Amino acid sequence: MVDAPYICTQEHIAMTEDGALIHNARISNEWHARNQVNKLPWPAHFPNLNPIKIVWKTIKIQVIKHHQPHTMDKLSAAIQMAWNELSPTFFDKLLLGMHDCMQAVISSNGGPTRW
């Protein structure tokens, strides 16, 4: 791994990662410890707190529903078309809903939520 330059200039670094195996690999944990990067706790029943994952899921659904690309070029075009069809209202609702989602996680102390 390459050390991120900002790590040495910060007094305190904290981050969060989901439970993916790569994030809990020994080499990753050793790097975090060596560079004094603290991991924030991740809820046991975590909702999708990353808005871009919701965007990609929406695009994936649209591509599967309306296209059946069999080449990389057609897949790329289908993804671009699905992206272009996302409205500003979609993004407004997505981002405004994040507050409620995060509040639900806090209120449930990391337990299950409707998200």
- Residue spans per domain, the chain: 5-39, 51-107
User: What tokens were used for 20?
Assistant: 């993916």
Q: Is the pLDDT of residue 57 over 70?
A: yes
Give the per-residue pLDDT at 76.
Answer: 96
Average pLDDT, integer, range 65-81? 94
* Per-residue pLDDT at 108 exceeds 80: yes
Check: CB of residue 74 under 8 Å from CB of residue 67: yes
Query: Which of the pair, 84 or 41, is modelled with greater confidence?
Result: 84
- Predicted confidence (pLDDT) at residue 7 exceeds the cutoff of 60: no
- Give Cβ neighbours of residue 94 (< 8 Å, ≥ 6 apart): 51, 54, 55
